[in-house]
Amino acid sequence: MNAKLDSTIANRPVTRQTFDEVLVPTYAPAAMVPVRGAGLDLWDQNGKHYLDFTSGIAVASLGHCHPVVVEALTRQANTLWHLGNGYTNEPVLRLATALTEATFADRAFFCNSGAEANEAAFKLARKYAHGKFGAQKSRIVSCYQAFHGRTLFTVSVGGQSKYTEGFEPLPPAIDHIVFNDIEGARAAIGDDVCAVVVEPLQGEGGVVPADAAFLQELRALCDQTGALLIFDEVQCGMGRSGDLFHYMTYGVTPDILTSAKALGNGYPIGAMLTTNELAKALNVGTHGTTYGGNPLAATVALTVLETINQPAFLARVKEAGAKLRATMEKLAADYPQVFAQVRGAGLLLGLVTSEGWKGRSKDIQRAAEAHGLMVLIAGMDVLRLAPALIVSDAQIAEADRILRLSLDDLIKAAA
Ligand SMILES: *Cc1c(COP(=O)(O)O)cnc(C)c1O
């Protein structure tokens, strides 16, 4: 019998090796395969335990299998899954109401990922400018080292050429400026610019916070030129900075905000938030997606939002963020040959490697994994920590202990 038709395939053993045989090799996943999670605890196929300081790249912000989210998803799974955009549904109406009440925005558009949220934002900016000013106002300004997703448009707007090489021809009329460079922004943002997009805290680009003065200047330049200011909060939003969205920390309000990652805690959903005036540019038939805001995704996101957007919850994120930062600053001070700097906001921190350890973030990540701690990297020079927002002080202490063990191993191996 053809193995591909074997009806018992669900029971067949699969291993990390299987990945190399049947997946398109876009990723190089770790050697271990996680099979079960609860909170910040994960277990692999061999039953080995890991403390997860990645949250699936800042996604599972309430931890794995949070009981309130599981309950909401299960309830909705037994009620209604999907309708298509010929019908609206109660969960999406509630989610849009909650997001617009909680933010500057009046309107929400839902999709399935961060890239799609940004794609919608860029299309809205183009469409709005086209209608209001004419076709010549089409330029999009973004920052080097920015990351906005992997569709051809969003990867072109992102500022890392390694992600666009070989995919040319790229969409035109996209310029890049140096992140936090005010003079560069002034030079690039002219009357032909329809949108300026920025991450208030660059995640993939190395966990680099924006200067308040830079964001304020972008706001002023957009106001002067009629360009729209887009904040990509796919990674830094939804409570990770200690505020519901990071623009609130800065007091700089964008025209369009994109969210995804933690919005669904692992259930795929993205959102683009904007104002009444701008929303009009995407009238019936101009944009859409089959799954966007379906009842399952909207139910999960509403539950996540209502859990995170509580004063006590966000106060604890700030407290845990300060605790993690102080702990990592102490660690960096104790290992000055390894780490030069700790940066970031809330529970998204980057430990920047020193001169002698440039290019070695992945070595540190692997050493930590061997000791049962999962961490992220943000490029080869930055170790990135993004634990679930429910992380306890004891878990922060445990991560610190394992990181120190891991560094001791690497230093010993080099001696
Ligand atoms: C992850 C990320 C994206 C892309 O999100 P996907 O869901 O992977 O498409 C976009 N912007 C930022 C800032 C991100 O961190």
Q: At a CB cut-off of 8 Å and minimum separation 6, what does 339 contact?
A: 331, 332, 351, 352, 353, 354, 357, 383
The string of pLDDT tens digits covering residues 209-227 is 999 999 999 999 999 999 9
127/188 same-domain check: yes
Q: Indicate if 149 and 282 belong to the same structural domain.
A: yes
The reported pLDDT for the residue numbered 105 is 98
Residue pLDDT, tens place only, 162-214: 999 999 999 999 999 999 999 999 999 999 999 999 999 999 999 999 999 99
142 CA from centroid of ligand 1 (Å): 15
| 358 and 237 within one domain | no
125 lies in the same domain as 234: yes
Q: Is residue 334 part of a domain?
A: yes
Q: Does residue 7 lie within any of the structural domains?
A: no
What ligand 1 atom has the least distance to the C-alpha of 151? 9
Are 104 and 255 spatial neighbours (Cβ–Cβ below 8 Å)?
Answer: no
Rounded distance from Cα 274 to ligand 1 centre (Å): 18
* Site to substitute for ligand 1 among 54, 57, 147, 269, most atoms within 8 A of C-beta: 147
Is 183 a member of any domain? Answer: yes
Please check the confidence at residue 1 and state whether its pLDDT lies above 60: no
- Our CA angle for 283, 264, 171, nearest 5°, is 50
| Of 97, 130, 107, 116, nearest in space to 274 by CA | 107
Closest CA to 338 of 349, 327, 352, 328: 352
Look at residues 250, 269, 243 and name the one whose alpha carbon lies nearest to residue 198: 250
> Dihedral of CA 51/238/197/346: which sign?
negative
- Cα–Cα nearest to 231, from 281, 181, 273: 273
Is 237 a member of any domain?
Answer: yes
The answer, yes or no, to whether residue 336 has pLDDT greater than 90, is: yes
The enclosing domain of 48 has a CATH number of 3.90.1150.10
Nearest residue (CA) to ligand 1, atom 15: 235
Domain finish residue from 242, 274, 308:
308
Atom of ligand 1 nearest to the CA of 113: 7
**Domain end call among 292, 308, 324:** 308
Q: What single-letter amino acid sits at 326?
A: A
Q: Which residues line ligand 1 (CB under 6 A)?
A: 113-115, 118, 147-149, 199, 203-204, 232, 234-235, 260-261
Same domain, 73 and 62: no
Same structural domain, 73 and 116: yes
Q: Say yes or no: 371 and 222 in one domain.
A: no
- Whether residue 6 is contained in a domain is answered as no
Cβ neighbours around 253 below 10 Å, total: 17
Same domain flag for 51 and 193: no
How far, in Å, are 156, 232, 357 from residue 130 at the CA level? 20, 22, 49
Average pLDDT score, the chain:
97
Ligand 1 geometric centre to CA of 277 (Å): 26
**pLDDT digit string, tens, across residues 126-160:** 999 999 999 999 999 999 999 999 999 999 999 99
Does 4 reside within a domain? no
Q: What is the pLDDT of residues 229-286, one digit of tens each?
A: 999 999 999 999 999 999 999 999 999 999 999 999 999 999 999 999 999 999 999 9
- Measured in Å, residue 331 CA sits from the centre of ligand 1 at 29
- pLDDT number for residue 4: 58
Q: What is the pLDDT of residues 337-351, one digit of tens each?
A: 999 999 999 999 999
In which band, very low, low, confident or very high, does the pLDDT at 2 lie, cut at 50, 70 and 90? low
Could you tell me the pTM of the whole model?
0.97
Q: Whose CA is nearest to atom 5 of ligand 1?
A: 114
> Quick check: is 2 in a domain?
no
Q: Are residues 46 and 78 in the same domain?
A: no
Structurally, the chain folds into a number of domains equal to 2
Higher pLDDT, 360 or 1: 360
Could you tell me the distance, in angstroms and rounded to a whole number, from the CA of residue 264 to the centre of ligand 1? 13
CATH number of the domain encompassing residue 124: 3.40.640.10
Distance from the alpha carbon of residue 4 to the mean position of ligand 1, in angstroms:
34
Smallest Cα–Cα separation from 374: which of 383, 365, 382? Answer: 365
pLDDT digits (tens, 9 = 90+) for 6-55: 668 888 999 999 999 999 999 999 999 999 999 999 999 999 999 999 99
Please check whether residues 117 and 225 belong to one and the same domain: yes
Mutate to test the pocket of ligand 1, among 152, 207, 235, 382 (most ligand atoms within 8 A of CB): 235
Per-residue pLDDT, 322 = 98
* pLDDT tens-digit map of 52-71: 999 999 999 999 999 999 99
Token pair listed for 51: 């403390």
Out of 280, 308, 336, a domain closes at 308
56 vs 44: CA distance, rounded Å: 14
Assess whether 83 and 143 both reside in one domain: yes
Separation of 159 CA from ligand 1 center, angstroms? 13
Q: Ligand 1: which of 57, 111, 156, 204 to mutate, judged by most atoms within 8 Å of the beta carbon?
A: 204
Predicted pLDDT of residue 180: 98
Q: Which domain holds residue 43?
A: 14-66+315-414
How would you write the chain as a 3-class SS string? CCHHHCCCHHHCCCCHHHHHHHCCCCCCCCCCCEEEEEECEEEECCCCEEEECCHHHHCCCCCECCHHHHHHHHHHHCCCCCCCCCCCCHHHHHHHHHHHHHCCCCEEEEECCHHHHHHHHHHHHHHHHHHHCCCCCCEEEEECCCCCCCCHHHHHHCCCHHHCCCCCCCCCCEEEECCCCHHHHHHHCCCCEEEEEECCEECCCCCEECCHHHHHHHHHHHHHHCCEEEEECCCCCCCCCCCCCHHHHHCCCCCEEEECHHHCCCCCCEEEEECHHHHCCCCCCCCCCCCCCCHHHHHHHHHHHHHHCCHHHHHHHHHHHHHHHHHHHHHHHHCCCCEEEEEEECCEEEEEECHHHCCCHHHHHHHHHHCCEECEECCCCEEEECCCCCCCHHHHHHHHHHHHHHHHHHHHHHC
User: Is residue 8 in some structural domain?
Assistant: no
Q: What is the pLDDT of residue 11?
A: 86
Average confidence (pLDDT) over 90-101: 98
> What are 352's two structure tokens?
């920047």
* 127 shares its domain with 191: yes
- Per-residue pLDDT at 377 exceeds 60: yes
Q: Please name the amino acid found at residue 228.
A: L
Quick one: which atom of ligand 1 is closest to the CA of 261? 7
- Tell me how far apart the alpha carbons of residues 320 and 361 are, in angstroms, rounded to a whole number: 24
Measure 404 CA to ligand 1 centroid, in angstroms: 30
C-beta of residue 376 within 8 angstroms of C-beta of residue 365:
yes
199 CA: nearest ligand 1 atom: 13
Average pLDDT over residues 317-330: 98
